[in-house]
Amino acid sequence: MGVPTTLNDNALSDIDDVKEFLGLSDVDDSDHELFRKLINQSSSFIEKETDRNLVAQDYDPDTDYENARYDGTGKKKLHLRQYPINSVTTLVISGDTVTAATDTDYYGSTGYVIYKSRGMLFYDYGFDVGIKNVRVTFNAGYASGTKELDDLKLLCNSLVGWVYSHRKNLGFKSERIGNYSYSRGDLKEEWQKNVIDRYRRKVVGWA
């Protein structure tokens, strides 16, 4: 017997939510294992299709070069790869720590301003030109209980439920269905496609 599967940090649902979605009062432990695998796979599929990390998490420039280190362009705005921005702990530009602006008149301010939903930082002095010289420690993504995460949870549950409910028609035995590979063809309903499009990566706000 193998090591039990655990839900990944990016899991958009859990066993109880899937069971409620499917109207199942109880299932055996083997189905719990299957649900965890399908939740992980459907969550990863949704993130791949939207080209984003969706669940709120921390980003650290010491460990995450892609999401927390950026090339300075000399411009006054910086779009972070992950959004919405929930908080910024530190911003370092070319070795100098920049603090958050303390007033609403941010033009000429020595601090930066966060545009949370746009995933953007504004700094009137500009982000110095350089290679990976801008380091941002921040938290971004959708937190538990938000409408956005509820939308994504419903999509995840529907994908898990479809594969689970059609496993016999798909010709899967229980030991193989856990390796099911989701594809765009599994988005059977128009609302599912709309959710993917709604959360697909985009530069929000100023270009």
Residue-wise pLDDT for 168-198, tens only, equals 776 665 556 767 889 898 899 999 999 999 9
Conformation bin of residue 134: beta by default, left when phi > 0, alpha when psi is -120 to 50: beta
Q: Which residues pair with 90 in a beta bridge?
A: 137
For residue 122, the model assigns a pLDDT of 93
CA distance 95 to 97: 7
Phi, psi of 150 (to 5 degrees): -65, -40
Domain ranges of the chain: 15-53+148-199, 57-140
Contact 123, 112 (CB under 8 A): yes
- Report pLDDT digits (tens) over 11-61: 999 999 999 999 987 777 778 888 999 999 999 999 999 999 999 999 999
